[in-house]
Structure formats: C-alpha cells, structure tokens
C-alpha cells in the first residue's frame, strides 16, 4: 500500500524528520530510538491542541445555534458574533477558586476529570482523516482500530462514577450511579452497531473499514446507523438521554461539586464527545474521507462531521429528556432487538452473496451492496412503521373523557 | 346558579339526627357547638344524604371576645352550597375538633389557621406551623398581635 | 450470606432550585429511585397579605391582591372587587363587565402559556418550547400595557368597574391576536402533543382520581383533568359568562398529560369567549361612581371566581369602617398542594418535578 501522507504532517514523516535531526547532532547511536518518541509527542501535542480548539469553537457554535432555535441570538458580546465567548468562559473558569469539599475523597476527586478527558482524546489516535485509500490514521493505524475505540470509551463510565463518588454529595452520587448504569447498558447496542459494520468490512482497522465502503454503510444498513447513533448519543449523555446531568432536576448531577479548572476539564470532555463521535460515525458509516475529487479528502471528512454535529445539536435543542427507567428500557429492549436484527439481516445477505458469487477478493461487489441498500432501507422503514404504530400507538391511546358522576353543574336553582 | 342553602334549611335537614348540636341558625349560616362539629360534618358529607362532598374553604375570624370558624361547603352533585359556623367559648386556648379525616382539603387549611390565629384542632395528624417558621412566637392574625 | 440492608435517604429539594417554580422546599425520602415520602415546606414568601388588608382601605387592597398570584393579576383583582361589590351592593355597568371578562380570559391564556412552557422546561426540552410560549405571552402583556400601563401587577379593576376604558389601538391589536392565536396553538400542539417522549413521560404519571380530587378540595384545571366537569363560570355564572357559549374541557384519567391537555384546550375556549365578547360589547361607562372611602354595611360575604389556577375566593367581614375587619383569601394553589403527597409517593425521581410542574403552583398565592 502506498504511504501517501494523511495530511501535511504524519507520524512517519515526523519520525524521519527527528531521525535526521538527531543524526545532525551526531547522537544517532545513543538517542536514535527516541525519534519515534519525539514524533509521537509532537503529533499528540498537535492533536490535543486541535481538539481543544475545535471544542472551544463547538461550544460557541452550539450556543449560537440553540439561540437561533429559540428565537434569540446566542452570545454576541465577546468579539464579533461572540466568537471569543469560549475564551471568556475558559478565562473565567481558570480564575475561579478551585474548591475541594472537605469530606471528599481527594485523589478520586482530582483524577476524575482527567479520567474523563483522556479517553475522549485517545479516540482520535485511530481516526483516518486523510485522503481516500490512504493507510494513515492521525497517529497510528492500529489493526484493532475499532476495538480500541470501544475499549477506551468504556473508561467513561468509571470516570463519571469517580466524579460522583469523590464528591461525597448525595446529589452527585445519585447522578453518577444513574450515569454509570446507563453508560454500561448502552455499550452493548454500540457494539452491535459496530459488529454489523465489521461483517462487511472484514477487518477491525479503521482504514480498512473506509476502504471497504464502496457504497456508504449508511445506505447499506440504515438500521445499524440508527442503533449506533442512538447508542452514542446515550454514551455522551446528551439529550434525550441526559438524565444524569439533568439541570432542571437535581442541581447538576455528578459535577455539582466541581469548580474552577476541574470543571473546565469536565466541561471540555463533555463537549469534545460529540466531535469525536461524529468522527467515528463518519468513518464507520459515511465513508470517511471519500468524496468527489475537487476537494481534498480531509475537507470531505470535516463536512460530514459537521453535518453529524449539527444533527446532534438539533436533537438536543428540541426534544425533552427520557426518564431513567425508560432510557434503560430503550437500550435493553428496542436498541438491543434492532441491533441483533440488523446483524442477522446483514449476515444473511452476506452469506447469500458468497453463495451466489458476488464477492470480489473477500468483500462484496458494489452492485450487490446497492441491492442490499435497497432491501435494507425497505426493511428498516417497515420495522419503524410497525414499532411506531403497533407498539407505540397502543400504549398511548387515550379514551374520550366522560364527565364524572360526582359533579353536576346543571343541578341547583336557576 | 349555585343554590345557596340558608342556615335554617340546613338545621332542619339535620334535625332528625343531630338536633342538639345546632346552637343557632339564621338565613346566612348555621352555628354548631365546637365539640359536635365532627358529627355534623360527617352527616353533611354523607353521599346518600346531603352530599356536601367539597369543602370550599375554612376561615377563622377574631371577634375580640371569641373566635369564629366558618366552613364553606359545596355539593357538586346538587350544585348547592351552605355555611356552617363554630363559635369558640372564649379567647383562651380555643379548641375545635378537626375535620381533616372527613375532607382531606381541611389538612393544610387547619394548619394555616393554627399558625396564624392560634386555634387548635383536635385530631389533626400534623398540626405544625405552615407559613411561618418553627419557633415563631405568637399568632399574627389575631387582633392583639403586636408585630 | 447476609442480605444487604438498604436504607431510605432524605433529600432536600431546597428553596433555591432551578425548577420548583419559586421558593418552595420539598423534603423527599427516596428508597433507591422511588419516592417514599414527601413533605412540602413553604412560607418563604409569606408577606402577611391578610393582615395588611386589615389596615388599608378597600381601593388600596387592589394592589395587594395583584401580588398574590403574580402570574394572573386580573383574576385576583376580579375576585376581590366582586366581593367588595357584593358586600356593598354596587352595580357594575355592562361595558365594564365585558372588559373585565376580556381581560380575565386574556390573563387565563397568559397564565396557561406560562404553565405549559415551564412544564416542558421541566421535561428537559432545554427551554425551546418555553421561549415559544413566552413569545406569545409577550403579545398579551403588550395588550395589558395598553390597557393599564403595567405588564404583570396590573391593578386594573376597582370596586364599581375598571379603572379606565380601553384605548382605540387595543381593539385592533386584540383582533389580530385572536385571529393569529389558534394557528399558534395548532403549531404548538403539533410539536408537543404527539411527541413520543412527552407522551412517554406524562401519560399515566401522577394519577389523581376524581373522588380524591374532590375530597382534597382541588379546583381548576387539575379537577377538570380528573374528569370532574366543574367550572364556576358555568356552575355559578358571574359577570357576563351566561351570555357567551363555551365548553368545559375535561380529561379522562387525571394524569399529567391530561392536566397539560386541559390547559391547552382551555386556551382555545378563552379565544372563543373573547371573540364573542368583542362582538357583543357596547359603548358606555366603565365605572360607577363610588365614594373615595367605600364603607360597606356591617356584614360578611364570600364570593369566588374561576381563576386560571382554580377557584379563587375572598371571604370578607366588614364592620362599617374604611378597611375590612377580616379579608381571607381562598388561594387555589395553596389548597391544590393538599394531594401532593398522595400524588407523588410511588413514583420515581424524574417524575417528581413533572408532577409538581403540572400542578402549576405560584408561590405568591401559596404563601400570600
């Protein structure tokens, strides 16, 4: 495979640069091994900064957009169009006193924000950002790419539990218990959504998944897309699944006791999650950086991410939130069922393809994938119609109200 | 229109069972003695009888020598209303039987009357101050309360 | 292996809270996620309205009544001035009655918009429906500003009529509002009433049966949502309500969804009433002459109106002087809190805020 660089810096090119630098200083024998380390550190520095800046601008974008949905402007005081608002927020949070409650469990309390931020950043290691058919991810194209992502996002649940437990606060513990239960439950539908992708791509590596999308997987398996999007929305605890930080209910849930820079880190992690999720979904379902050739692959990737982020934002600003037992029911009954059904459907179609000889070097032909797309969309629409009308409508049918016999306004003198 | 039942009509209706409870009656209301108010209200609430199922309000007034507690009752089924009144025997330690087990609506209202007027309701499950804080001294709506 | 012992935990939904509709404190005991016991504590906004009324003259008390249910000032004013008029036998001219009914129905719409908006805010819809409801409420408050110069604490009514006639531009703006409002309600309904998340969270939640509602003294939309068809505007008509046609919407099972839906339908009925009043109103005086210090004859009376929150009544005792001897308020929000404990036990934490929101209490009225 050709090693075209993903973008103008890549791990390999930096490694070569550092090796040359070290040799220049004549330290090749003693410090030659450290070229890789230095390259890694530089790329990580770059990624972290880019992610933090994107999160900052994402908060600005979200507040402006939600304002527009609510017939008002968003922040417009700091800088033109309020563009410096995130910087004002961060400055305020840094200058605040960093309190730690007296009875709190100090190591757990301090480590929780870091434990929440680190996995979110680590997901970006394996995202393939570059041009189509490249084998470059941001940092390292692990050949267990997607499994690495699933494993790393599981650390979120621990971090939220640590945040609540370390605060020693009734509200915080309540919020984080609910959060831990919810996050653990939604990992299964997430895995089911990913499995259906793996059936067609044949490999866990993210670049292989992109390469096998001769037809984008959102067209081929819409039900899997829905299951994965719903599960990821819950994993990020965004509306309609944001019961754990329900601001209008119990103060602020697990981050009640946090202030200052720790709160800024928690806030950052919470707002970085949609960007990272959008990146993962783009890779898995929207063909990564595939697109017409008049724009480089990276720009296509960014456009697709933007569409997904806007969708998440839109849902957040319009829908109310579900109750915790309804959230759990949704995960274990609806999403689990739909996810399994989706895997079954895709597996059956794959087997039929192999039998009928529509495969070429292990993966399906484009024509067959298009047929699959058509069939799957019809099945999905039928499934949703059945779910909505026959399961939903029955539960929510309201009888006509009849006046109670206990009151009679017409009686009495006139 | 809601029919207003005069005090005389009410006292005639309960004469058969509770004649000795009625102290006085006139065209606006019927006066009952403080110890028998529970019996009278139970009879009035009876669904097979007069069916005063709805307690609209309980008020209390401080006439300097005595307190008066006024019960406004409404029958939703027959769309009529009546007024029952209780005069306490004096100003010191006024006590009246509670009707909160007959109509749950009396629960919060009797607590408010205890809080602001100082009239005790016997048999109330939770007679604590409701609008003022625990430990407040005095009963503000009384005419002799100096703030 | 010994069983793990769990114990219930008591949490304070304290007076300062993003969504308890005012300074209202609830001491809730949870067993896991389920509510076991609820103890409401209020009185944080008690200002002694009834005691203050005993040292002010009858016209000054109108401003006191504004501030009780500060969301629905017109209804408070109406209840109070009707009691004074009943006590002193003051006749109110017909045009004043029509203007009073128009103002009270507009106020009912404004109050129900606020209740609906805040219920959806409690459901978690991030203030978006709330802002839409408030946008319409602003139009109504602009109309009130034309009438009397104030938006919230209006003091528009006086014993004997209203304080001034409506200006010319009021009628044209009112007509625009009446023609626009049903479309707006349809839009709101299409967004909310069929949203599955709203249905999932409000249907079957916080049930109140009709027998229990009557026993607890509950009135207003809550009573009607429990399928009891009782509305003072039809049961005991006052002002000119017997000359207009309107329906009384009721609910089927007394859950939160019914309480929300009854309020929505009541808004539609209010529009009907207002349009009929606009057709029927005639020019004329708007206030009968009363002496500056009204001195009602010695006596007592009770009179009530159907406010947006329920039956708002005044029991007034007069001793012939310029201030009432006793002015007691039958506050609907206060009495609507009676079944709170029974409505909340057995439900989960997420339902608590919603059930409380559907009761639509205003602390100014609860505490007076």
B25 in helix, strand or coil?
Answer: strand
* pLDDT on residue C211: 87
| Residue C267 in tokens | 């808004």
Query: What mean pLDDT comes out for the span C302-330?
Result: 91
Query: What mean pLDDT comes out for the span C347-357?
Result: 84
Q: Is residue C39 part of a domain?
A: no
Model confidence at A248, pLDDT cuts 50, 70, 90, reads very low
CB contact under 8 A, C236 and B1: yes
Q: Is residue C176 part of a domain?
A: yes
Number of domains in chain C: 1
Residues written for chain C: 368
Q: Among candidates B81, B82, B74, B139, which has minimal Cα distance to B113? A: B139
Model confidence at A104, pLDDT cuts 50, 70, 90, reads confident
pTM (2 d.p.): 0.87
On whether any CB of chain B is under 8 Å from the CB of C315, the answer is: yes
Is residue A43 scored above 70 in pLDDT? yes
CB contact under 8 A, B53 and C215: yes
Alpha-carbon distances of B94 from A80, B87, B106, rounded to whole Å: 70, 10, 18
* B79, closest residue in chain A (CA to CA): A412
Q: Is residue C22 part of a domain?
A: no
On whether any CB of chain B is under 8 Å from the CB of C48, the answer is: yes
CATH number assigned to the domain comprising residue C78: 1.10.645.10
CB contact under 8 A, B77 and A411: yes
Cα–Cα distance between A118 and A159 in angstroms, integer? 10
Which of A405, A406, A412 is opposite residue B79, by nearest beta carbon? A412
Alpha-carbon distances of A243 from A159, A262, A330, A334, C350, rounded to whole Å: 17, 22, 14, 19, 8
CB contact under 8 A, A412 and B3: yes
Model confidence at C351, pLDDT cuts 50, 70, 90, reads confident
Q: Are strands B95-97 and B120-122 parallel, antiparallel or unpaired?
A: parallel
Query: What mean pLDDT comes out for the span C331-355?
Result: 87
Q: Which of A5-14, A285-294, B119-128 has the highest mean pLDDT?
A: B119-128
Q: Is residue C1 part of a domain?
A: no
- Average pLDDT across chain C, whole number: 87
* A398, closest residue in chain C (CA to CA): C252
Chain A CB contacts of C125 under 8 Å are 318-321
Model confidence at C82, pLDDT cuts 50, 70, 90, reads very high
Alpha-carbon distances of A291 from A132, B78, C102, rounded to whole Å: 8, 76, 62
Give tens-digit pLDDT for B28-85: 888 888 888 888 888 888 888 788 888 999 999 988 888 889 999 888 888 888 888 8
Q: Is residue C38 part of a domain?
A: no
Quote the distance between the C-alpha of residue C338 and its chain's center.
16
Q: Is residue C11 part of a domain?
A: no
Contact B71, C302 (CB under 8 A): no
Is residue C112 scored above 90 in pLDDT? yes
Chain B CB contacts of C335 under 8 Å are 57, 105, 108-109
Q: Is residue C196 part of a domain?
A: yes
Calculate ∠ Cα C249-C250-C251, nearest 5°. Answer: 135
Best A404, A408, A413 member to test C by mutation, with max C CBs in 10 Å, is: A404
β-bridge mates for residue C317, sequence order: C300, C326
Pairwise pLDDT comparison (A357 vs C306), residue with the higher score:
C306
On whether any CB of chain B is under 8 Å from the CB of C215, the answer is: yes
Cα–Cα distance between C42 and A171 in angstroms, integer? 22
On whether any CB of chain B is under 8 Å from the CB of A403, the answer is: no
CB contact under 8 A, A239 and C126: yes
Give just the sign of the alpha carbon dihedral A212, A213, A215, A217. positive
Domain boundaries, position C51:
47-358
How is chain A split into domains, by residue range?
8-81, 96-389
Q: Is residue C328 part of a domain?
A: yes
Enumerate neighbours of B (3 or more CB pairs within 8 A): A, C
β-bridge mates for residue A360, sequence order: A363
* pLDDT on residue B2: 78
Q: Among candidates C103, C47, C152, C118, which has minimal Cα distance to C361? A: C118
Contact pairs from chain A to chain C, CB under 8 Å:
121
Phi, then psi, of C329 in degrees rounded to 5: -105, 130
CB contact under 8 A, C304 and B56: yes
Give tens-digit pLDDT for A238-247: 877 877 666 4
B49 in helix, strand or coil?
Answer: coil
Is residue C108 scored above 90 in pLDDT? yes
On whether any CB of chain B is under 8 Å from the CB of C226, the answer is: no
**What is the nearest CA distance from C353 to chain A, expressed in angstroms?**
7
Element spanning C327, H or E: strand C326-330
CB contact under 8 A, B61 and C325: yes
List the 149-178 stretch of A: residues with Cβ below 8 A of B. none
CB contact under 8 A, B2 and C235: yes
Contact A221, A378 (CB under 8 A): no
């Amino acid at each position: 495979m050709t090693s075209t660089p993903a973008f103008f810096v890549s791990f390999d090119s930096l490694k070569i640069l550092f090796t040359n630098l070290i040799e220049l200083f004549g330290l090749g024998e003693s410090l030659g091994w450290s070229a890789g380390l230095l390259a890694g550190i530089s790329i990580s520095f770059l990624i972290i900064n880019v992610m933090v800046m994107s999160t900052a601008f994402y908060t600005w974008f979200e507040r402006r957009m939600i304002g527009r949905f609510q017939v008002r402007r968003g922040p417009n005081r700091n800088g033109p169009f309020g563009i410096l608002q995130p910087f004002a927020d961060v400055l305020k949070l840094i200058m605040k006193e960093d309190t730690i409650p007296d009875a709190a469990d100090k190591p757990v309390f301090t480590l929780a924000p870091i434990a929440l931020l680190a996995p979110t950043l680590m997901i970006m290691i394996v995202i393939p950002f570059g041009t189509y058919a490249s084998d470059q991810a941001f940092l390292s194209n692990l050949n267990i790419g997607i499994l690495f992502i699933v494993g790393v996002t599981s650390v979120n649940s621990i971090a939220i539990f640590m945040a609540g437990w370390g605060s020693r606060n009734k509200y915080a513990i309540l919020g984080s218990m609910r959060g831990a239960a919810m996050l653990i439950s939604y990992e299964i539908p997430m895995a089911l959504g990913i499995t259906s992708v793996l059936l067609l791509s044949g490999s866990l590596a993210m670049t292989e998944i992109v390469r096998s999308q001769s037809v984008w997987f959102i067209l081929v398996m819409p039900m899997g897309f829905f299951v994965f999007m719903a599960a990821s929305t819950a994993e990020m605890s965004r509306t309609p699944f944001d019961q754990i930080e329900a601001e209008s209910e119990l103060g602020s849930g697990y981050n009640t006791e946090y202030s200052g820079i720790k709160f800024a880190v928690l806030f950052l992690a919470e707002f970085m999650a949609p960007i990272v999720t959008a990146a993962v979904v783009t890779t898995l379902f929207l063909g990564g950086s595939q697109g017409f050739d008049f724009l480089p692959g990276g720009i296509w990737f960014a456009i697709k991410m933007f569409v997904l982020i806007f969708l998440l934002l839109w849902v957040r600003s319009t829908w109310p939130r579900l109750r915790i037992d309804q959230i759990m029911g949704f995960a274990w009954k609806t999403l689990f069922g739909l996810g399994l059904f989706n895997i079954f459907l895709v597996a059956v179609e794959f087997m039929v393809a192999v039998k009928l000889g529509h495969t070429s070097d292990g993966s399906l032909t484009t024509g067959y994938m298009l047929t699959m797309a058509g069939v799957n969309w019809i099945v999905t629409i039928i499934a949703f119609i059945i779910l909505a009308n026959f399961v939903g409508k029955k539960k929510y049918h309201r009888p006509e109200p009849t006046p109670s016999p206990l009151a009679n306004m017409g009686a009495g003198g006139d | 229109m809601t029919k207003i039942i005069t005090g005389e009509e009410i006292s005639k209706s309960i004469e058969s069972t509770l004649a000795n409870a009625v102290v006085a009656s006139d065209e606006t209301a019927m006066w009952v003695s403080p110890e028998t108010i529970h019996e009278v209200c139970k009879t009035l609430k009876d669904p097979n009888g007069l069916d005063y199922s709805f307690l609209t309000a309980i008020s209390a007034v401080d006439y300097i020598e005595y307190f008066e507690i006024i019960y406004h009752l409404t029958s939703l089924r027959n769309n009529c209303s009546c007024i029952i009144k209780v005069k306490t025997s004096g100003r010191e330690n006024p006590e009246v039987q509670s009707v909160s087990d007959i109509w749950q609506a009396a629960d919060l209202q009797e607590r408010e009357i205890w809080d602001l007027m100082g009239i005790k309701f016997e048999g109330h499950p939770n007679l604590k101050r409701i609008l003022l804080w625990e430990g407040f001294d005095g009963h503000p709506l009384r005419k002799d309360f100096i703030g | 292996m010994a069983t793990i012992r769990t114990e219930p935990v008591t949490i304070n939904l304290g007076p300062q809270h993003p969504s308890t509709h005012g300074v209202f404190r609830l001491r809730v005991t949870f067993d896991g996620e389920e509510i076991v016991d609820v103890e409401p504590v209020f009185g944080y906004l008690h200002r002694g309205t009834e005691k203050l009324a005993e040292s002010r003259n009858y016209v000054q008390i109108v401003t006191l009544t504004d501030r009780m249910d500060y969301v629905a000032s017109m209804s408070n004013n109406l209840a109070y001035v009707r009691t004074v008029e009943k006590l002193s036998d003051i006749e109110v001219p017909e045009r004043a009655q029509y203007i009073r009914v128009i103002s009270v129905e507009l106020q009912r719409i404004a109050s129900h918009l606020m209740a609906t908006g805040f219920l959806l805010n409690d459901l978690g819809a991030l203030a978006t429906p709330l802002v839409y409801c408030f946008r319409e409420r602003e139009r109504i408050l602009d109309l009130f500003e034309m009438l009397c110069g104030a938006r919230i604490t209006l003091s528009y009514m006086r014993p004997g009529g209203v304080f001034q006639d409506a200006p010319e531009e009021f009628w044209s703006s009112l007509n625009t509002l009446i023609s626009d409002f049903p479309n707006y309600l349809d839009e709101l309904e299409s967004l909310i009433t069929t949203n599955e998340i709203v249905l999932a969270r409000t249907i079957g939640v916080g049930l109140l049966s009709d027998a229990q509602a009557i026993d607890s003294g509950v009135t207003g939309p809550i009573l009607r949502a429990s399928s009891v068809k009782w509305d003072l505007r039809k049961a005991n008509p006052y002002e000119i309500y017997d000359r207009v046609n309107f329906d009384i919407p009721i609910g089927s099972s007394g859950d939160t969804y019914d309480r929300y839906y009854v309020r929505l339908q009541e808004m539609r009925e209010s529009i009907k009433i207002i349009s009929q009043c606009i057709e029927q109103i005639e020019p004329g005086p708007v206030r009968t002459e009363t002496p500056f210090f009204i001195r009602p004859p010695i006596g007592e009376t009770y009179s009530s109106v159907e406010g947006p929150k329920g039956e708002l009544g005044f029991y007034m005792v007069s001793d012939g002087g310029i201030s009432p001897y006793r002015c007691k308020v039958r506050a609907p929000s206060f009495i609507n809190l009676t079944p709170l404990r029974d409505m909340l036990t057995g439900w989960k934490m997420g339902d608590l805020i919603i059930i409380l929101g559907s009761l639509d209490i205003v602390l100014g009225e609860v505490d007076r």
